[in-house]
Amino acid sequence: MDRDLMEVTIPRLEELYRANKYTVTEVVEWYLTRIAWYNGIYRAVQTVDARNALATAAREDAEAKAGGSSFRRGPMWGVPIVTKANTSIKGLITTDGWKGYMIPGHELVAPKDATIVAKLRTAGAVILGQTNMPDFAASDTNRSTAFGRTGNAYDVRFSPGGSSGGTVTAVTGNFALLGNGTDTGNSIRMPSATSSVVGVFPTRGLVSIAGIAPLDWLLDNTGPIARTVTDATIALDVMASEDAADARTTGSAAEAQKGPYTQYLKADALKGKRFGVPAFILAGAGIPFQGIPASAPASEVAEDTEDSREPLRPETRAAFMKSVEGLRAAGATVVFDDSILPDSFAVTVARVGTFPYVKEGTEKFLAEYGPAQYHSAAEYESVIGSRLPPTIIGGADPATRRGRATIVQESIESDPQAEANFYGPRKKALEAYNETLDRLHLDGFVYPATQMPPPDETMPQNGKLSEGPHSDTGWVNMIGVPAVVVPGGFYPDGLPFGLEISARPWRDGDLLGWAYAYEQATKHRRPPVLVEKGLLPDAR
């Protein structure tokens, strides 16, 4: 089984099932055994739901036996997966990485499945458990008050990135075949880059985020994390659809490329394509997370922009240039030019201000997915006796520590400043993005998914506790275009480098085709060698 299931793909697993070599129960037990063996060191899976996973496996085995040779399997039938701990699973605690949702007797137990969980179940997936994540997904590394620290599968001392670090360690370490991540500023893509996996950020609105505890609902997104582009694409085909519970998916079926997206996976998909390299990423220009609201004075804009500056490290530049060789070898042209998304683009994107509306997202989530005891921030405070943190409801945000006024929380639907804060800057930034593609006849953009290698979390980073590997890719969330990270090679010390590609809105099929062609041409991925004892036992 180790030989057959290690690094197994969905198509290969389907072959094994069709040949009756393994039952779903046997496959699920194999994954559960790996989690039990290694999770104490890597701490990727916060909640192991063995009972329900085995019950699902037994049911699927019985259905297959009863159906005989005419039995038809769903696109993810018998596929063992994990989901991130902010993604609601009926009957389980949606910890969102935070101990405040785990208070005994007051746990945030999901009353129903998130939309994507329901769709994955219908397709036949078997959910093994929920992966660790930092509190509210608000970190570039994977330390949580709910479960502790997740280690990088390639070296447990190093960061897997955040906030989907639990999923990437689980997937790259073969604790599951694939999983979902969420991404508010880089949280699917940056962790995928640290761990030699594929991370997909769909066009915002292609996949519903209903039932996912928000960090910032205007920027949040969800997508698959897998070891191959093919597996990620199969999962995206399952996850994508309009959903009345997520208004941003309305009309997506008409906007999006025709599915299934697997039809775009062709080995020659990069031939004749042109990609530009954003100049502001190479320069490390700063884009503050959640942007800068229109009311901010020039002094605050300058201060926040400077604080967000993240230079591209020399070793990452070298890894990126080497990965570009793979694109060119596969038939693509890669264009470097100072006019390609320059620093002025970063300035434009930085004015997409979303923090004034974070509480609205939290209130909507709790109203539908909160436990019986509380369905709002006010009810949480009444029941627990303490408030939800400013991270997800606003109020005394970190900016007040510098003597700034508190940002007042509003409903974006009724706020007279919504156009100046969000809609206007977002439209302007998206126009600049598309204008660059048109002007230089580009198909998309390519760039490093992180500005640095994964840091060693046993050592200080910039003189303090490691904050994880940072990126300059939050602009993707602010304009909602699709992006994908693929394994781009390895640093000299053996840690992975990830290449990110972005495309025009709704060209997700083309994007996945390019990623597939790059993957097939380079075959960079190699699995980690896991250890049974670590430098950080229990990783607390």
Q: 220: domain CATH number? A: 3.90.1300.10
Question: Which among 130, 135, 50 has a CA at the least distance from the CA of 99?
Answer: 135
The reply to whether 187 belongs to the active site is: yes
Residue at 465 is within a domain: yes
Q: CA of 180: how far to CAs of 164, 198, 530, in Å? A: 8, 11, 22
What per-residue confidence (pLDDT) applies to 415? 98
Buried b (16+ CB within 10 A) or exposed e, 110-137: beebbbbbbbbbebbbbbbbbbbbbbbb
For residue range 481-491, list pLDDT tens digits in order: 999 999 999 99
Cβ contact 226:195 at 8 Å = no
Q: Name the catalytic one among 88, 139, 159, 163.
A: 163
What per-residue confidence (pLDDT) applies to 460? 86
Residue at 121 is within a domain: yes
Residue at 535 is within a domain: no
Residue at 277 is within a domain: yes
Q: Of 301 and 451, which is predicted with more confidence?
A: 451
The token pair at 149 is: 């620290």
Rounded to 5°, angle at Cα 321 from 319 and 327: 110
- pTM of the predicted model, to two decimals? 0.97
For residue range 313-370, list pLDDT tens digits in order: 999 999 999 999 999 999 999 999 999 999 999 999 999 999 999 999 999 999 999 9
Cβ contact 233:266 at 8 Å = no
* Residue that the structure tokens 């303490």 belong to: 386
The reply to whether 252 belongs to the active site is: no
Cα–Cα distance measured from residue 349 to residue 341, given in angstroms and rounded to the nearest whole number: 11
Please give the torsion angle defined by the CA atoms of residues 180, 185, 189 and 195, in that order, rounded to the nearest 10 degrees: -90
Q: What are phi and psi of 45, to 5 degrees?
A: -105, 115
Length of the chain counted residue by residue: 540
For residue range 197-217, list pLDDT tens digits in order: 999 999 999 999 999 999 999
What per-residue confidence (pLDDT) applies to 540? 41
Angle between helices 343-350 and 424-439 (to 10 degrees): 160
Tell me the helix, strand and coil percentages in the chain, rounded to 5.
40, 15, 45
The token pair at 260 is: 């299934």
Angle between helices 229-239 and 508-522 (to 10 degrees): 160
What per-residue confidence (pLDDT) applies to 394? 96
Mean pLDDT score of the chain, rounded to an integer?
96
* Residue that the structure tokens 């997800």 belong to: 392
Residue at 540 is within a domain: no
Q: CA of 102: how far to CAs of 111, 164, 383, 510, 540, in Å? A: 15, 20, 13, 42, 17
Coil, strand or helix: which one is 449?
coil
- List the domain range (segments joined by +) for residue 155: 1-522
Query: How many domains does the chain fold into?
Result: 1
The mean per-residue pLDDT over the stretch 225-236 comes to 99
Q: Name the catalytic one among 139, 159, 187, 196.
A: 187
What per-residue confidence (pLDDT) applies to 401? 46
Q: What are phi and psi of 486, to 5 degrees?
A: -125, 155
Using CA of residue 53, residue 57, residue 60, residue 62, what is the dihedral sign?
negative
Residue at 538 is within a domain: no
- Name every residue whose Cβ is closer than 8 Å to that of residue 312 and which is 6 or more positions away in sequence: 281, 282, 283, 284, 320, 448, 451, 452
The token pair at 30 is: 């194999």
The CB-side HSE value for 498 (13 A sphere, CA atoms) comes to 34
Residue at 534 is within a domain: no
Residue at 536 is within a domain: no
